[in-house]
């Protein structure tokens, strides 16, 4: 039995990676690490400094100069973690529409990806981690012990995002969310560096008709197959 495990969960926007990853991590008592937050934090820093998201070299320079921290939640307002940029709490701001509209472009840049990938490897190499993102199984940890790729139609994912916003009291336009989801898929899948795709040895789980619990169950049974005991299985 291995004693240090890395689990990679990749998939498109709103495929349920974060919710599922968090449950799996809790069950195994592992660190949960949502790498999308780092790209969102860089994008927020770009907006705050009034840098144009199209200005690749300026954006990359900024990504290399800021310190992003992901810490256990400090208050019970529904957050999964505290997100800090240079010590400043930006947990909810990284979820804003403006960030969402620009994050896919910002994360196509080599300088940004190199800076974030380095930080992710440093944190993840301690092991016993569930890492979620777009390129964890293909680029960040190609040797991960278990690679899962979550898939769902754009319509189902947009509906989930719409309902998630509604739960936080934010009324939004479903069609707008749907077209933004499709636009992000397009950029994430077609970028030159580390495009979104399943690793050759990833297990693909289609989540359209599955509940969160169903997906978590499926992943936990894969975990038990690689030698970890979960709930006596
Ligand atoms: O999972 P998310 O929606 O929070 O991710 C936000 C963006 O970050 C997504 O559009 C692409 C980018 N991203 C990435 O390029 N690589 C990762 N490992 C995680 C996210």
Q: Enumerate residues lining ligand 1, CB below 6 A.
A: 13, 35-36, 39-40, 103-104, 107, 133-136, 184, 188
pLDDT-derived band of residue 94, with 50, 70 and 90 as boundaries?
A: very high
DSSP state letters, 52-104: -TT-HHHHHHHHHH--EEEE--SSSSS-SSEEEETTEE-TTGGGSHHHHHHHH
Residues 164, 99 share a domain? no
pLDDT digit string (tens) for 179-214?
Answer: 999 999 999 999 999 999 999 999 999 999 999 999
pLDDT-derived band of residue 61, with 50, 70 and 90 as boundaries?
A: very high
Helix (H, G, I), strand (E, B) or coil at 21: helix
In angstroms, what is the span from residue 11 Cα to ligand 1's centroid?
9
For residue 3, pLDDT over 80 is answered with no
d(CA 115, CA 171): 35
Tokens of 79: 């957050």
pLDDT-derived band of residue 64, with 50, 70 and 90 as boundaries?
A: very high
Helix (H, G, I), strand (E, B) or coil at 172: coil
Query: Of 68, 96, 126, which one is at a domain's C-terminal end?
Result: 126
- Beta strands 82-85 and 88-89: pairing type? antiparallel
**Mean pLDDT, range 86-100, rounded to an integer:** 93
- Nearest-CA residue for ligand 1 atom 13 is 36
Q: Which domain holds residue 215?
A: 1-30+127-233
Domain count for the chain: 2
Tokens of 75: 């208050």
Residues 94, 68 share a domain? yes
Read off the CATH number of the domain in which 52 is found. 3.40.50.300
**Mean pLDDT, range 59-73, rounded to an integer:** 90
Residues 67, 149 share a domain? no
In angstroms, what is the span from residue 133 Cα to ligand 1's centroid?
6
Query: What does the H/E/C string look like for 96-151?
Result: CHHHHHHHHHHCCCHHHHHHHHHHHHHHHCCCCEEEEECCHHHHHCCCCCEEEEEE
In angstroms, what is the span from residue 33 Cα to ligand 1's centroid?
12
In angstroms, what is the span from residue 37 Cα to ligand 1's centroid?
7
Closest CA to 7 of 27, 23, 30: 30
Residues 71, 9 share a domain? no
């Amino acid at each position: 039995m291995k004693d240090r495990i890395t689990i990679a969960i990749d998939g498109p926007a709103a495929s349920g990676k974060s919710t599922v990853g968090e449950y799996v991590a809790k069950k195994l008592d592992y660190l949960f690490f949502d790498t999308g937050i780092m790209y969102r934090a860089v994008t927020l820093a770009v907006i705050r400094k009034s840098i144009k998201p199209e200005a690749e070299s300026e954006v990359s320079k900024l990504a290399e100069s800021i310190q992003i921290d992901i810490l256990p939640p400090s208050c019970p307002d529904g957050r999964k973690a505290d997100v800090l940029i240079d010590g400043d709490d930006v947990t909810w701001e990284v979820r804003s529409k403006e960030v969402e509209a620009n994050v896919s472009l910002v994360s196509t840049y080599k300088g940004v990806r190199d800076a974030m990938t380095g930080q992710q490897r440093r944190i993840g190499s301690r092991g016993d981690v569930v890492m979620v993102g777009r390129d964890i199984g293909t680029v960040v940890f190609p040797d991960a012990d278990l690679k899962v790729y979550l898939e769902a139609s754009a319509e189902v994912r947009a509906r989930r995002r719409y309902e998630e916003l509604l739960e936080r009291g934010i009324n939004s336009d479903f069609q707008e969310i749907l077209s933004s989801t499709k636009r992000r898929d397009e950029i994430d899948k077609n970028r030159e560096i580390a495009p979104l795709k399943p690793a050759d040895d990833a297990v693909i789980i289609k989540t359209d008709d599955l509940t969160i619990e169903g997906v978590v169950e499926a992943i936990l049974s894969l975990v038990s197959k690689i030698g970890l005991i979960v709930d006596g299985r």
